[in-house]
């Protein structure tokens, strides 16, 4: 079975959420390579350096130091990325309507998905 994407970047500070999401991604053969980082600042550093070239990003909203929305502001400044070919899914347990509206209004966010990620939701994300 062919993977939907080549490289998936998961950005979330919660170890348990990362473990569960990674298992679902692996089980669904979602991406050939899954990279997990536990902070948005680390993700920005790696993306800017060109160490990670994802086709898809799962991004948590609420993280210490840099939120998902702050990440998107920094991401916007990375000129070396082909952002038109990167899908970003906001993956969050937040029920705050403001978070959902901000993600809908953001030009980089493809979709807001409530945690936990499910196999059914994952199947709907494959092109």
Per-residue pLDDT of the chain (127 residues; tens, 9 = 90+): 688 999 999 999 999 999 999 999 999 899 999 999 999 999 999 999 999 999 999 999 999 999 999 999 999 999 999 999 999 999 988 888 888 899 999 999 999 999 999 999 998 998 7
User: Are residues 37 and 43 in contact, defined by beta-carbon separation less than 8 angstroms?
Assistant: yes
Name the phi and psi angles at 35, rounded to 5: -115, 130
CATH architecture of 5-125: 3-Layer(aba) Sandwich (3.40)
Q: What is the pLDDT of residue 78?
A: 96
Q: What is the pLDDT of residue 95?
A: 84
User: Are residues 21 and 117 in contact, defined by beta-carbon separation less than 8 angstroms?
Assistant: yes
Burial profile 79-111: b = 16 or more Cβ within 10 angstroms, e = fewer: eebeeeebbbbbbbebeeeebbebbeebebbee
> What residue spans define the domains of the chain?
5-125
Predicted model pTM: 0.94
């Amino acid at each position: 079975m062919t993977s939907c994407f080549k490289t998936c970047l998961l950005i979330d500070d919660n170890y348990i959420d990362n473990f569960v999401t990674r298992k679902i991604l692996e089980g669904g053969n979602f991406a050939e390579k899954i990279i997990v980082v536990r902070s948005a600042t680390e993700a920005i550093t790696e993306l800017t350096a060109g160490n990670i070239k994802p086709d898809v990003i799962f991004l948590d909203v609420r993280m210490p130091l840099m939120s998902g929305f702050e990440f998107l502001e920094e991401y916007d400044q990375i000129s070396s990325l082909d952002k038109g070919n990167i899908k970003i899914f906001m993956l969050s347990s937040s029920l705050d309507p403001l978070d959902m509206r901000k993600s809908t209004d953001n030009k980089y966010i493809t979709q807001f998905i409530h945690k936990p990620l499910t196999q059914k939701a994952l199947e709907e994300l494959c092109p």
